[in-house]
Amino acid sequence: MSIFEGAGVALITPFTETGEIDYKRLGELLEFQIAGHTDAIIVCGCTGEAAALTPEERRSCIRYTVETVAHRIPVIAGAGTNITKTAIEWSRDAVECGADAILSITPYYNKGTQKGLIAHYKAIAESVPVPVMLYNVPSRTGVNLLPQTAVTLAKECANIVAIKEASGDISQIADLAALADGCLDIYSGNDDMIVPLLSLGGKGVVSVLSNVMPEETHRMVMEYLHGNIQEPARLQLLTLPLIRALFCVVNPIPVKAALALMGKCGGTLRAPLTELEQESPELLERLKQEMKQLKLL
């Protein structure tokens, strides 16, 4: 059984002006997502600035999310890091906090060979009783989880059941789908490739766009899965300019700016990230215009 089908939101972590986790805003964002028919919550991932959270904050954020969601939809906790021992500890912490599954990014900086990645993920999978979603994002980590490696892991570890594919390489994703032949659920990690990935048999998306357009992103996936190809294609093309604006600088700077414009968070980020207005007033204006086009403002 899949962890979820549809659109899972790669949720931001809202902070107060003094830099603490804003649990009131987090609760409001979770309810906004559920009301918008989001199919899963992905908490403490890259969009959630997980690398800037302390272990205590990570546990608290996951626990709060699990308790607030209260089994209405799956909660997937980001638990990956570049040290295998620490990734195991974080994965166990997420399970103890009640996460339904974990998302585990490939080790960054020290990276690892393909054999090293197999050993890394096997150790993590064996340490927890919940489903594991691999996360391939070479632009952030500097390492590419190859299709054969992902399929080997899925076949050798019963709880490695899914992958968030954010390589941006549709040929690689096609190779992965062909090799997997159904043994690994594939989710798009790129909002501009949702429909192309679904056409290769994907189950959905782990989406940044869903932060601001949960209902439309959910519909894009579910209409496709129910056989209506035209509406998802229309939505994919309609949202492309906003998607581009949401990635005009490093994520999650623009999406936090978008949510701040919508009055849903304060927009505060943790250093070294800076707010979009500080980065570029021109890019902020571009984001505003794209949001107005879609009647988000």
Which residues carry out catalysis?
A: 135, 164
Contact 134, 156 (CB under 8 A): no
Helix H segments across 3-73?
23-35, 55-69
Helix (H) or strand (E) holding 172: helix 170-180
Alpha-carbon span 32 to 218, nearest angstrom: 13
What token pair was written down for 209?
């766009």
Nearest C-alpha neighbor of 90 from the set 98, 73, 78: 78
Read out DSSP for 242-288? HHHHHTSSSTTHHHHHHHHHTTSS-----TT---HHHH-HHHHHHHH
Strand partners, 9: 41, 207
